[in-house]
Amino acid sequence: MNANELIDKVSNQTAKRVVTELERHRLVKACQLDSFKKTEKILYEYPDLKQNGVVPELCSLVEKALKRVESDPYYDLIELKYFKHWTHECIAEYFNVDVSVISKRRTKLIDAMRPIIFAQDFIRELYGM
């Protein structure tokens, strides 16, 4: 097994454990949210999860995903929207751009993060499985 196959195997196993744990804690409902919505939900919950030490594997995945997008010029959007609960209008004002830009950039950031946080779901959605 090469390094990429090992990484994929470990990622898939971790994703399964994370989703199971999230369902057990009733943070997500099984099969009702796609990986985009699950990623958003996890980002909203992340500060509390990290503070309380709940699902450390998930916190590690979120941190890895955040690291992946930290060079994006709209990276602060994640903290403002999901951690501080700002509206799109307030975030647009902060960045001095139109609200539609914030919506598009949010989507771009989440799309970059969700394959890391919910690898299994993302692959299923990508291939229509």
Q: What is the pLDDT of residues 76-122, one digit of tens each?
A: 999 999 999 999 999 999 999 999 999 999 999 999 998 888 776 54
Give the pLDDT of residue 123: 56
Which is more confident, 58 or 42?
42
**73 with 59: CB under 8 angstroms?**
no
Element housing 49 (H / E): helix 35-52
When computed from its CA atoms, the radius of gyration of the chain, rounded to whole angstroms, is: 15
Q: Say if pTM beats, i.e. exceeds, 0.75.
A: no
Q: What is the pLDDT of residues 4-56, one digit of tens each?
A: 677 767 776 777 777 777 777 777 655 567 778 888 988 998 998 888 887 78
Q: List the structure tokens of 68.
A: 């992946």
DSSP symbol at 64? H
Give the pLDDT of residue 17: 78
Give the pLDDT of residue 65: 93
**122 with 113: CB under 8 angstroms?**
no
Give the pLDDT of residue 83: 95
DSSP symbol at 86? -
Give the pLDDT of residue 9: 73
